[in-house]
Every structure is written in C-alpha cells, then in structure tokens.
C-alpha cells in the first residue's frame, strides 16, 4: 500500500511540474505565430463535420479545437495547464467559436467511454510522460468507428532535434517517462494504438516556418516563449559555460535547417485511425 501511495504522490508531483513548465513563457504565441496551420491540417485530416462531438486532448490554447468548432462541431478542449485554456477562451471568443474548455490530464481523461466521434491532439498528447497510458485514454473516449487524429513532431525533424540538443542540459527524466518525439515514429504509434484501432494511416509532412531572420532570433524566441526551453535554461542558470554551450547548439541547429531564405521545414507525423468496434 505504501508503494502505491508513493507512486501516486510521485505522479502528482510530475504532473504539477509539467503544468508549471507549460505555463512558462507564452506557448499561445508559439502556436499562433509559428504553427497555426497545423491545427487546421489536423481538423481536415479527421474530416471533422458539423454536429460531431470532438475532443481535443492537450489542446493548449486551441490550435485545433478552435478550427474544429468553427466548422460546427461540438468541441471540448482539454489541457493540463489552465493558463493555456484561459488564453484559448479569449482567442475563441475573438474568432466567434463556441466550445467547452476543461482542465484535464491526458493520462486520466474525465470523460465516458466512447463519448466522442473524433479524438485529436495537435503536438500535445505526445508530451504526456506515460505514452501507453495516454494512448489508451485516446482510444477509450472515442466511440467505436470514430476517428483518432494526431500531429506529432518526429525525432528526425527540427523540433525532435531541438529536444535532443537540450537533453544533456535538462534534469534527468523520472522513471518510466518517455521522450515526446517517440510519438513521431511510426512503429511506436502502431504499438501504442495496437488493436484498439483500424485503418491506421501515417504520413510525414512538414510545416514551413519563416518567422526568424537569423538562427539567433529563433533561439531567443524559444528561450522567451517556449516552456520546455525555458525550463532547460533555468536548470543550468548558474552554469554560464553550459548556458553559452546551449546557446550555441540551438543557433547551430537553426542554421543547419534554414534554407537560403531563412525558412525552415519542420517535420511532423500525421496520424489518423478508426476506433475498433
């Protein structure tokens, strides 16, 4: 019994850290300025239609949830971090979108089995630390025959490589936590969803990001606005040599990926599937 209590306490502490990390900086700015089209791409891939019941898991400020609501779906946007939901509500209001916002853990969704016609997540659920648990929840709350759709950064793509560059400077992950970019590997997703789905489709696509005039501008933007990057820098704040080394690595990463115009192509895995009967 003591072991179970300790495990539950450790999980609560882990989720608290995740919640705080995503509240750092200003992730809604990242989503709005760099990847607004990803949410719309996911909504189209899931063929979201008017009247459908849709759940956006780890929705952040509603990159996919708001476009789904604008086509007439009945949308619930859920996220672990209430600060992101608050921004999303304001964005939805400005866009004229009506939807429900719920604070929720992707690994313990507060919804009934089979409650939704479509369950989706746009570079969101991939950051839940326990992949199999999160995947099982996606499947559980989707009705038989319903659609599950995901956009996940790949390990080989720009964001996956950014996390690889930051890893040596970050705190050691807790036992059992898995790296987010694994969700961008086809075999990993296939194993996670297993026989819970049919008609599993996966394709690698890219999103063009042309926001940054220089590699250093990319680095400075992410160290200002992106919670995971801010958290890594805070971990090494007292070590000036390591801070300078990470500065150099992030700028070098952007330099390698930038084309002649400075634009970058960030690779992601688009996943669609049907919930098994």
Q: Which residues contact 95 (CB under 8 A, 6 or more apart)?
A: 66, 70
- Give the mean pLDDT of 60-81: 98
Which residue's structure tokens are 């746009």? 122
| pLDDT the model gives residue 102 | 98
Stronger pLDDT, 4 or 79, i.e. the higher one: 79
pLDDT digits (tens, 9 = 90+) for 127-179: 999 999 999 999 999 999 999 999 999 999 999 999 999 999 999 988 889 99
Res. 11 pLDDT band, cuts 50 70 90: confident
Three-state DSSP class for residue 178: coil
The dihedrals phi and psi of 48, each to the nearest 5 degrees, come to -65, 135
Q: Which residues contact 161 (CB under 8 A, 6 or more apart)?
A: 155, 253, 257
Q: What is the dihedral of CA 52, 100, 108, 53, to 10 degrees?
A: -10
pLDDT digits (tens, 9 = 90+) for 234-246: 999 999 999 999 9
**Beta strand residue intervals within the chain, DSSP E:** 53-56, 74-79, 100-103, 116-122, 142-153, 197-209, 264-275
Position 3 pLDDT exceeds 80: no
- Give the mean pLDDT of 38-64: 98
| pLDDT the model gives residue 199 | 98
Asked if residues 86 and 59 have their Cβ atoms less than 8 Å apart, the reply is no
Res. 2 pLDDT band, cuts 50 70 90: low
Which sign, positive or negative, has the C-alpha torsion 229, 232, 237, 241?
negative
| Separation between Cα atoms, residue 119 and residue 116, nearest integer Å | 6
What's the predicted TM-score (pTM) here? 0.95
Q: Name the token pair of 168.
A: 């040596």
CA distances from 221 to 22, 33, 156, 218, 249 (A): 15, 11, 22, 5, 15
Q: Among 6-10, 77-81, 182-186, 259-263, where is mean pLDDT lowest?
A: 6-10
pLDDT digits (tens, 9 = 90+) for 204-221: 999 999 999 999 999 999
Q: Pick from 209, 213, 216: which is nearest to 251 by CA?
A: 216
Domains parsed from the chain with CATH numbers: 2-163+171-208+266-275 (3.40.50.150)
How high does pLDDT run on average in the chain? 96
* Burial track 213-227 (b if 16+ CB lie within 10 A, e otherwise): eebeebbebbbebbb
Stronger pLDDT, 14 or 35, i.e. the higher one: 35
Position 4 pLDDT exceeds 70: no
């Amino acid at each position: 019994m003591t072991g179970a209590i300790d495990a539950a306490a450790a999980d609560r502490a882990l989720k608290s850290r995740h919640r705080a990390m995503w509240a750092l900086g200003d992730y809604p700015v990242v989503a709005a300025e760099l990847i607004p089209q990803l949410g719309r791409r996911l909504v189209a891939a899931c063929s979201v239609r008017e009247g459908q019941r849709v759940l956006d898991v780890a929705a952040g400020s509603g990159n996919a949830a708001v476009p789904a609501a604008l086509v007439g779906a009945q949308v619930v946007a859920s996220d672990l971090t209430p600060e992101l939901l608050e921004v999303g509500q304001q964005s939805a209001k400005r866009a004229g979108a009506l939807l429900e916002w719920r604070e929720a853990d992707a690994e313990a969704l507060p919804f009934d089995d089979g409650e939704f016609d479509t369950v989706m997540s746009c570079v969101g659920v991939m950051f839940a630390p326990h992949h199999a648990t999160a995947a099982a929840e996606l499947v559980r709350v989707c009705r038989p025959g319903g659609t599950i759709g995901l956009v996940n950064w790949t390990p080989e793509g720009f964001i996956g490589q950014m996390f690889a560059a930051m890893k040596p400077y970050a705190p050691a992950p807790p036992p059992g936590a898995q790296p987010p970019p694994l969700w961008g590997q086809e075999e990993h997703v296939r194993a996670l969803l297993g026989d819970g789905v049919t008609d599993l489709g996966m394709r690698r696509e890219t999103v063009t990001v042309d926001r940054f005039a220089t590699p250093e501008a990319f680095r400075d933007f992410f160290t200002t606005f992106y919670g995971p990057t801010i958290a890594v820098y805070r971990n090494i704040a007292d070590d000036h040599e390591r801070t300078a080394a990470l500065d150099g690595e992030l700028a070098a990463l952007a330099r390698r990926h930038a084309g002649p115009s400075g634009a970058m192509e960030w690779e992601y895995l688009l996943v669609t599937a049907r919930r098994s009967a």
